[in-house]
Amino acid sequence: MRTPDKIDRASIEQWLGTGNQLDEAIIILVDMFNGDYPIENFREDVLSYFQPDDRDESWITFTLPDKDK
């Protein structure tokens, strides 16, 4: 499975849930800053949250390799 290079705000909002998003986001940012939540774990957690039928694939973007390199 290819990993997207970028996701959109709606994806993060859906992952955070509907209640207390700001509080949850602050806790996550503090943990990331303090090294308690590595960015790769964050990326994996957000990406693993979505099931294939949750959304169409328009939220996923990929960077294609430069064919001249």
pLDDT at position 68 is: 59
What is the band of 6 on the pLDDT scale with cuts at 50, 70, 90?
confident
User: Tens digit of pLDDT for each residue in 7-46?
Assistant: 788 888 888 877 788 888 999 999 999 999 999 999 888 8
Is residue 9 in some structural domain? Answer: no
- How far apart, in Å, are the Cα atoms of 55 and each of 10, 32, 61, 65? 10, 27, 14, 26
Q: Note whether residue 23 is domain-resident.
A: yes
Confirm whether 36 is domain-assigned. Answer: yes
pLDDT recorded at residue 29: 92
> Distance (Å, rounded) from C-alpha 59 to C-alpha 57?
5
Residue 27 lies in a domain: yes
**Ramachandran angles phi, psi of 36, nearest 5°:** -85, -10
Number of separate domains in the chain: 1
Q: Which domain covers residue 26, as residue numbers?
A: 18-51
CB atoms within 10 A of CB 11: 19
pTM over 0.85: no
Residue 57 lies in a domain: no
Q: Is residue 31 part of a domain?
A: yes
Residue 45 within any structural domain of the chain: yes
